[in-house]
Amino acid sequence: MNNDNALNANVGLKLRGLRLQRNIKQADAAKDLGVSPAYLNLIEKGKRVMPFPLLWKALRYFEQDPEQFMSTLGEGRVDEALAKLLDEPLLKSLDIDSESLQSLSAEPKLAGTVAALFNLYKNTRTQLENVLAQLNVEERTRTQGSPSGNGLGNTPGVRFDYSPFDEVSDFLEKHRNYFPELEEQAEGLRRDFRLEQQITSSQLTRMLEERFDYRVQIERATSGSSVVRRLDLDARTLTLSPDLTEQPLKFQIAASIGLMVMDREKLVERILGAGRMRHGETERLIKVNLANYFAGALMLPYSEFFKEVQRTRYDVELLSNVFGTTYETVAHRICNLSDPKRQGLPFHFLRADIAGNISKRYSGTGIRFASGGGSCAKWAVHLAFLNPSQITRQYSIMPDGTTYFCFAKVQLQPIEGSIVKGTAYSIGLGTHAENAKYLAYGLPTNDLRKDAIPSGISCRFCERTDCNQRAAASYRFAFAFDEYTKKDCFFSPLLVHEKEKAERNGQHEGVDSDPDGSEKHDSLDRGVRRRKGHEN
């Protein structure tokens, strides 16, 4: 039956294409073929079977060879301009398939219009991104050079690169990443189901079925899809991937319960209040973050977790074993301890990949992160990849003198034994340097200024003039260099006194004068002269 429908649709589309190629109106073609315009319209749309006598008559009318026409019915030719769009990310996200494009190909003018509009959209989007990037650079350069600049990247004025993810980060920081409404709901569920300290996925599944009347099913996603969790509100089912191991499985079920609780209690509306978001996507992103927060609160109850944190002195690895969850989940939860009655140390959180891309961030310490790409290569979260099996620890000092103690660990999740197919993230936590003594991972120091690693926010906005790891010139300095003077990093700015000395050397052709009038050769040449003296 499906094959017949496909054949009818193909015949109708091809006949419609032949008619449009000849600029024949549908009413005129219907009159010449001896049928009503409505009937021909249904045939062209594939909604009516075309009798063979009428098909032969139509082929003679359009001057088509019947044998050749019938041989092309299975080809499904797609307009070339439209076919190129199949590889575009936007069309992939809209799930536009070749059959849909084939239907559109029967409308040549419409097909050309769609392709032209899409290409216009791409070009306009690219131009807009370039303009915004330039405006952002100019705005940051202007504001960071003014007295109001604070040296940490949180400049006043309009931020042209302010994304929904930046807005979510600001929202979490505003609330100090603590939401008592979610804590109460999670604690109530734990109490009702008498959950112990370490919970299992089967207990969470029972909670889902008994409290929310949802059915859990394990099912592999369709080929080419990486979906691991799907909550179907209409069918009241939670579908989970069979590839999920126990720890991530628990988290996904707990996050799903969080979504149901928030919908039932209208918690998102209560938490957001009357405030308006700058981006339309922000509210949904906040809901995702709150669902994940609820999952952490359900699996790591505040009171018990706080006690264990104090007992273990923030030993993230040990805490993950105590509560049977991942290192990353514990690291997230440590950043939630802002209850005024049971307050933990302030932490900032980072998750980065081996290329240095930061996919998660939260500042509970006041440290600022670059809103664009890139961050400081001196940070522990990046250096952790050098020793993935160990905790990387260090003191860091920012250009304004603020000091932090940071530690990071790499979390690997291979697929089929391959890290390349799977994921590799570094999970970093940091707090003010004076808090290091309260941590199990804390490093001893007698001279913090000496032991701390000079760091920054990102190369583009860093004030440091002598960083040997610079990957780009800073917008804070005029990029100046001298071909005869080499610093240890090409992107480090040539300072005034360095530049003046280089210019003097150029004026005197590499010779300076001592105060007594005697000539002194440039220091860069002394070693060469000494070697020549020994040779002579």
Q: Confidence class of residue 81 from pLDDT cuts 50, 70 and 90?
A: low
Residues 179-198 pLDDT 10s? 999 999 999 999 999 999 99
121-130 LR contacts (CB < 8 Å, sep 24+): 122/88
Rounded Cα distance between 197 and 297, Å, is 12
pLDDT at site 67: 76
Count CA atoms closer than 13 A to 467's CA, side-chain side: 25
What is the full DSSP assignment across 51-64?
A: PHHHHHHHHHHTT-
Q: Confidence class of residue 11 from pLDDT cuts 50, 70 and 90?
A: confident
Rounded Cα distance between 184 and 198, Å, is 19
Do the two domains 2-76 and 345-457 of this chain adopt the same fold? Answer: no
**Looking at 60-74, 97-111, 216-230, 282-296, which range is the least confident one?**
97-111
- Cβ atoms of residues 242 and 227 within 8 Å: no
> Which two three-digit tokens encode residue 406?
């940071």
Rounded Cα distance between 201 and 406, Å, is 33
Rounded Cα distance between 403 and 43, Å, is 75
pLDDT at site 369: 84
Of residues 416 and 10, which shows the higher confidence score? Answer: 416
pLDDT at site 531: 39
> Which two three-digit tokens encode residue 177?
């990443």
Q: Is the dihedral of CA 157, 163, 169, 175 positive or negative?
A: positive
Residue type, 64: Q
> Which two three-digit tokens encode residue 507?
């004026």
pLDDT at 95 over 50: yes
- Cβ atoms of residues 237 and 216 within 8 Å: yes
Q: Confidence class of residue 131 from pLDDT cuts 50, 70 and 90?
A: confident
Rounded Cα distance between 532 and 534, Å, is 5
Highest mean pLDDT among 77-86, 212-221, 427-436: 427-436
- Strand positions, DSSP E, 150-300: 215-218, 229-232, 237-240
Radius of gyration over every alpha carbon of the chain, rounded to an integer in angstroms: 33
pLDDT at 86 over 80: no
pLDDT at site 516: 41
Rounded Cα distance between 226 and 231, Å, is 15
**Looking at 285-294, 471-480, 516-525, which range is the least confident one?**
516-525
Within 10 angstroms of residue 36's Cβ, the number of other Cβ atoms is: 12
List C-alpha distances in Å: 200 to 216, 247, 292, 483.
15, 9, 17, 65
Q: Confidence class of residue 144 from pLDDT cuts 50, 70 and 90?
A: low
Q: For strand 348-353 and strand 338-339, is the pairing parallel, antiparallel, or unpaired?
A: unpaired
Of residues 47 and 507, which shows the higher confidence score? Answer: 47
> Which two three-digit tokens encode residue 420?
């390349």
For residue 419, how far is the Cα from the chain centroid? Answer: 19
- Cβ atoms of residues 492 and 466 within 8 Å: yes
What is the full DSSP assignment across 369-382?
A: --SSS---TTSHHH
Q: H or E segment at 287?
A: helix 282-299
pLDDT at 397 over 50: yes
Provide mean pLDDT across the span 445-464.
90
Of residues 216 and 137, which shows the higher confidence score? Answer: 216
Rounded Cα distance between 380 and 405, Å, is 9
Rounded Cα distance between 16 and 14, Å, is 5
Exposed / middle / buried, residue 262 (Cβ in 10 Å: 0-12, 13-18, 19+): buried
Q: H or E segment at 66?
A: helix 66-71
Within 10 angstroms of residue 377's Cβ, the number of other Cβ atoms is: 16
Rounded Cα distance between 156 and 149, Å, is 8
For residue 110, how far is the Cα from the chain centroid? Answer: 35
Q: Confidence class of residue 525 from pLDDT cuts 50, 70 and 90?
A: very low
Highest mean pLDDT among 142-156, 429-443, 454-468: 429-443
> Which two three-digit tokens encode residue 149?
């600049």
- In this structure, CATH architecture of domain 345-457: 2-Layer Sandwich (3.30)
Provide mean pLDDT across the span 4-17.
71
pLDDT at 533 over 60: no
- Cβ atoms of residues 261 and 294 within 8 Å: yes
Rounded Cα distance between 208 and 216, Å, is 8
Provide mean pLDDT across the span 485-507.
71
Q: What is the mean pLDDT of the chain?
A: 82
Rounded Cα distance between 330 and 455, Å, is 26
pLDDT at 140 over 80: no
pLDDT at 535 over 50: no
Rounded Cα distance between 520 and 36, Å, is 105
Of residues 70 and 528, which shows the higher confidence score? Answer: 70
The residue to which tokens 């933990």 are assigned:
344
pLDDT at site 530: 39
Highest mean pLDDT among 25-29, 156-160, 402-406: 402-406
Provide mean pLDDT across the span 262-285.
90
Residues 315-364 pLDDT 10s? 999 999 999 999 999 999 999 999 999 999 999 999 999 999 999 999 99
Q: Confidence class of residue 177 from pLDDT cuts 50, 70 and 90?
A: very high
pLDDT at 1 over 50: no
CA nearest neighbour of 457 among 409, 384, 399, 406 = 399
pLDDT at 2 over 80: no
Of residues 131 and 496, which shows the higher confidence score? Answer: 131
Of residues 212 and 13, which shows the higher confidence score? Answer: 212
Rounded Cα distance between 497 and 478, Å, is 14
Q: Confidence class of residue 121 from pLDDT cuts 50, 70 and 90?
A: confident
2-76 CATH = 1.10.260.40
pLDDT at site 272: 92
List C-alpha distances in Å: 280 to 90, 234, 372, 391, 522.
18, 25, 20, 39, 63
Q: Confidence class of residue 455 from pLDDT cuts 50, 70 and 90?
A: very high
Q: What percent of the chain has pLDDT over 90?
A: 49
Tell me which DSSP letter residue 436 carries.
G
Highest mean pLDDT among 15-24, 259-268, 519-528: 259-268
Q: Confidence class of residue 116 from pLDDT cuts 50, 70 and 90?
A: confident
> Which two three-digit tokens encode residue 390?
């160990």
pLDDT at site 248: 95
Q: Confidence class of residue 515 from pLDDT cuts 50, 70 and 90?
A: very low
Residue type, 509: E
Rounded Cα distance between 242 and 258, Å, is 21
